[in-house]
Structure 1
């Protein structure tokens, strides 16, 4: 039997970083790899496929591409992200992906590449992820697919998917571990000088969504100005000139959250800003954001971001090299 065949699909506007990660993970090893592992050649046969010449997201084109029919018989098909993932793809491209799936190929989408798999009709009933900023567009386009919005990557059996661009490395290392053992993936990660597994998910990188501009906007503005204070349903209802029951109903209709859930999310967002931009201690941040205690902030912070306030600050502020 030949080596495991990996077809990497290049489409118009393909993200160069996604493409490079896939080729580096499955293609020819750099010479420095010999210092870590005795491997004369990669265990994969890799082909970069598409309809040449194809423009990339950075403006230059790729002309040295294998034809689409090289995908036939591939054991794994990798679809990197692309600049305009919602744009309709060439039927010939989608047909090649659909045939590969029907033949049992493993499908790996990187970042926005999940949109291509969705257009090929191979995601219905599956769990996938994509870049956190594309969550609304993905749900609207593929309602029969379960989007795991903040996952770094998702393994749903035949289909594996990753979030934003650098999460492509996380998923490719995971695939290497599944194919050849964790020790092998760890050695590739040593070449990349990247952790073989990152804790947390995309939520820690996601920016807050814009607030709805509905009838509750004045109340939401007032809440933002008083986040550091204790805010009971009764107190907020009095400020809004509503009964507590009406306030809760209106809150769910307009924001999708209960008042308590909305306050917790906004306080986490406030804490994130303070952790990034201020010199306040974690305890001072907890009180300034309205949590009342560091334990309360830590609990809500982990729920919404998948990490702790201290780790978040270290990640987004860093330190002297």
Structure 2
């Protein structure tokens, strides 16, 4: 039946990193691969398809590209991200992608490459992802697709898509795992010095947008942010807004699309992320400073919204002198007592509000 044919699409503004990851994952194996596995040859035939010459995102041009018509006969079509994904693409290219889909080809988009698939008309009703920062633009352009912006990558059968930049490696390794097994994907990951699978999704990398607070509830929202570390009840917030709790909930959902408790929890998670990245507070101290009141509550909300634990998040985004200490040496608190990051859950005295 012949070898599996992979068409990698190269367009004006293609991200070089996405292109390199795809070419390395499916293309010719480097010489060191023979030291890892007695299968030095790639199981794929890859072809770079695009215009006669395509200037990349870094300014240099890639030439000697195969015609875009070749895409229609590929077994797998890979579309790397590109600098201006919303720009209209050549109808000939889009037709070739659509024909490949009709013929049953697997379509793999990396980062913003999913916009090209959307223009080809193959995403209606499909679950996909893209770079978290492009979520608004994607939803506006392709409202019939189901965007899962927090996911590192999404497998929707014929359509596979990855989040931003280096998530391309996660998806390509996943495809190798599906095609040739876990051991093969693991060995390719050893060449890349990249984990075969990363925990969590894009939510841990997305930066919270700081949109100006507006609307009739903006004074209450500012007050909530200023007092985010305090125990807050719906009754307290309603009294501050001079409304009944029921009216406040209704107005809050109208203006923010979220409940009062949900909005506060989101802001507390954002505050916890800032403290985990930029402070020396212990995880327990972060829980109190962000208003969760307990390490258990912080962890529950953090894992639900970010996909990883607070400690794993800190290990990823902050390198501190703590990490070079002797393993097993207890961390000392301000008064010389061991800190309780990993100890029993600590709680504030007194009643605990529904928002925790």
Runs in 1 of length 4+ with deviation above 3 angstroms?
A: none
Match of 2:119 in 1: 119
Shift of 1:255: 1.0
Match of 1:307 in 2: 308
**How many residues get paired?**
321
Stretches of structure 1 that go unaligned for 5 or more consecutive residues are none
1:78 alignment partner, SS class: strand
Superposed CA offset, 1:149-186 (max 9, x none): 11111111111000011000000000001111110000
Superposed CA offset, 1:255-311 (max 9, x none): 111000011110000000000000011000000000010000000000110000100
CA shift in 2, pair 1:32/1:297, >3 Å: same
Match of 2:175 in 1: 175
Shift of 1:11: 1.0
Aligned pairs for 1:122-271 (under 5 A) are 122-211=122-211, 212-271=213-272
Structure 2 CA distance for aligned equivalents of residues 283 and 196 of structure 1: 32
Shift of 1:319: 4.4
| TM-score between the two structures when normalised by the length of structure 1 | 0.98
1:72 alignment partner, SS class: helix
Structure 1 CA distance for aligned equivalents of residues 105 and 48 of structure 2: 16
Aligned pairs for 1:7-86 (under 5 A) are 7-86=7-86
Stretches of structure 2 that go unaligned for 5 or more consecutive residues are 325-356
1:155 alignment partner, SS class: strand
Structure 1 CA distance for aligned equivalents of residues 303 and 261 of structure 2: 16
Shift of 1:218: 1.4
Shift of 1:39: 1.6
Superposed CA offset, 1:38-62 (max 9, x none): 1242110000110021111111111
2:32 alignment partner, SS class: helix
Structure 2 CA distance for aligned equivalents of residues 177 and 307 of structure 1: 23
Structure 2 CA distance for aligned equivalents of residues 173 and 201 of structure 1: 15
Range with greater deviation from structure 2 (165-174 or 202-211) = 202-211
1:107 alignment partner, SS class: strand
Shift of 1:209: 2.6
Structure 1 CA distance for aligned equivalents of residues 282 and 39 of structure 2: 49
Shift of 1:244: 1.4
